[in-house]
Chains A and B, each alone.
Chain A
Amino acid sequence: MGAQQRVFKQKIRSTSSLRKIFKAMELIAASRIQKAIARSQAAGPYANALTRAVSAVASESNVDHVLTTEPESVTRAAVLVMGPDRGFAGAYSANLLREAEELIRLLRSEGKDVSLFTVGGKAKNYYTFRDRPIEESWTGISETPSPEVAREIGEALLKDFTAESGDGGVDEIYIVFTKFVSSVKHDPEYRRLLPLEVVDADEAATTGGQAESKTDAAAFPLYEFEPSAEAVLDALLPRYIDSRILSALLSASASEQASRQAAMKTATDNADDLIKTYTRLANTARQAEITQELTEIVGGADALAASSAGD
């Protein structure tokens, strides 16, 4: 076998083994999207119940709560960036980080200091590489976010929110995540988490990436509060925040898997194309070699015949 043929065969072999990896990752991502969507939907009833209850308390009573009052002046804002832990997801983390940068620029232009919180290794690396301080980061949870982690994040954010501006407290909290619309459509977007604007069930449902929602949120009955409206609000609001964080995390994880599947599908297709091209080239090389050998044999025979005829 000629040298050129060997080169092409080697390239075909390595591309095929890469292709196997891409294909496997595509299939894994595809099965995980379904799981992520199921988790997102399973968390839906709780989120809906909470949203409805919070809206009910907020509309019923004239209770002022620290989490819902707009501060007079905002000097510091916290941004929670929900990124992936692993790459291989195409432009997923690039798009998300671009959205985060945009938000940060916007906040800075309004004269606010920004403190960063990140979820996922990719977002963390992005900022540490650029020497930007990160207040707190959570890694290893982007693919399987649990209510416990959401609570932990919620507590950390709330602690900063309730602290005074002087000692590291923030006046606003934003989250940046990728909203899962369908497995081919997921858009990075940011929302303000605190101070709370209580959204109706419709919007909360879209955050959670699920279609079902209750629209009868407008008419609330006159509730009796146990033990008191303040206590109920105190108990509900942190949970509402945790639940918003959880649904954003779940939506982000579904988007991540969907992006990964799409990216791996493209990689598999490209590997197929490469294999095809190299096979063609290898065939051409083999044919050229055969032609060359034939020419040499015929040429040699001719030369022999000519020399024997000359005797």
Chain B
Amino acid sequence: MAVLDVNVVAADRQIWVGEAKRVIARTMDGEIGILPGHEPVLGVVADGEARILTTDEKTIRVQADGGFLSVENDRVIIAADQAELL
């Protein structure tokens, strides 16, 4: 099964890299859920929590404040001004 290649970066460092089954992030219009095969998206991330369900069924929670999110070819990049793992 296809997996998402997820990369969470903050302005000054990399926060988390890995493979995931599902990513849920908060954009300005509300939450967006991303599964493998999602269409390419460039979105503005609102302050809030992003949840990443990894391939080994663990949930990673990241507090991301401001920034953007890009999805293409199952590559998800969350680039936040400030971010930390919860």
Chain A positions within 8 Å of B, measured between CB atoms, are 39, 42-43, 45-46, 49-50, 52-53, 56-57, 146-147, 150-151, 220-227, 231-232, 235-236, 239, 242-243, 246
- Asked whether B39 is an interface residue with its Cβ less than 8 Å from the other chain, the reply is yes
- Residue of B13, B39, B73 with most chain A CB atoms under a 10 A cut-off: B13
Task: Assess whether A227 is in contact with B12, with CB atoms less than 8 Å apart.
Answer: no
Given contacts A49-B79, A53-B79, A147-B81, contact A226 B11 (CB under 8 A): no
8 Å CB contact of B79 from A46, A222, A227, A246: A46
Task: Assess whether A46 is in contact with B9, with CB atoms less than 8 Å apart.
Answer: yes
Q: Which residues of A contact B68 (CB under 8 A)?
A: 50, 53, 232, 235-236, 239
Given contacts A231-B44, A232-B43, contact A226 B28 (CB under 8 A): yes
Q: Which residues of B contact A43 (CB under 8 A)?
A: 11-13
Q: Which residues of A contact B47 (CB under 8 A)?
A: none
- Asked whether B10 is an interface residue with its Cβ less than 8 Å from the other chain, the reply is yes
5 nearest A-B pairs in the assembled complex, by CB-CB distance: A226-B43, A147-B11, A221-B40, A42-B13, A49-B79
> How many residues on B have C-beta within 8 angstroms of the other chain's C-beta atoms?
27
Task: Assess whether A227 is in contact with B27, with CB atoms less than 8 Å apart.
Answer: yes
Interface majority SS on B: helix, strand, loop or mixed? strand
Task: Assess whether A52 is in contact with B70, with CB atoms less than 8 Å apart.
Answer: yes
Q: Which residues of B contact A236 (CB under 8 A)?
A: 68
Q: Which residues of B contact A56 (CB under 8 A)?
A: 42, 70
Give a binary string over B57-79; 1 marks a CB under 8 Å from any A CB, 0 the rest.
Answer: 00000000001111011000101
Interface members, chain B 20-64 (any A CB < 8 Å):
27-29, 32, 39-44
Q: Which residues of A contact B70 (CB under 8 A)?
A: 49, 52-53, 56, 223
Q: Which residues of A contact B77 (CB under 8 A)?
A: 49, 53
Q: Which residues of A contact B32 (CB under 8 A)?
A: 226
Q: Which residues of B contact A225 (CB under 8 A)?
A: 41-43
Task: Assess whether B42 is in contact with A223, with CB atoms less than 8 Å apart.
Answer: yes
Q: Which residues of B contact A150 (CB under 8 A)?
A: 11
Q: Which residues of B contact A49 (CB under 8 A)?
A: 7, 9, 70, 77, 79
A271 to chain B, nearest CB (A): 38
Q: Which residues of B contact A227 (CB under 8 A)?
A: 27-29, 43-44
Q: Which residues of A contact B41 (CB under 8 A)?
A: 223-226
> Can you sample 8 A-B contacts with CB below 8 Å?
A46-B9, A53-B70, A223-B40, A224-B39, A224-B40, A224-B41, A226-B28, A227-B44
A229: nearest chain-B partner, CB-CB? B42
Task: Assess whether B42 is in contact with A224, with CB atoms less than 8 Å apart.
Answer: yes
**How far is it, in angstroms, between the C-alpha of A45 and the C-alpha of B32 when the chains are bound?**
23
Q: Which residues of A contact B7 (CB under 8 A)?
A: 45, 49
B27: nearest chain-A partner, CB-CB? A226
Q: Which residues of A contact B73 (CB under 8 A)?
A: 221
**How far is it, in angstroms, between the C-alpha of A39 and the C-alpha of B77 when the chains are bound?**
20
**How far is it, in angstroms, between the C-alpha of A53 and the C-alpha of B7 when the chains are bound?**
14
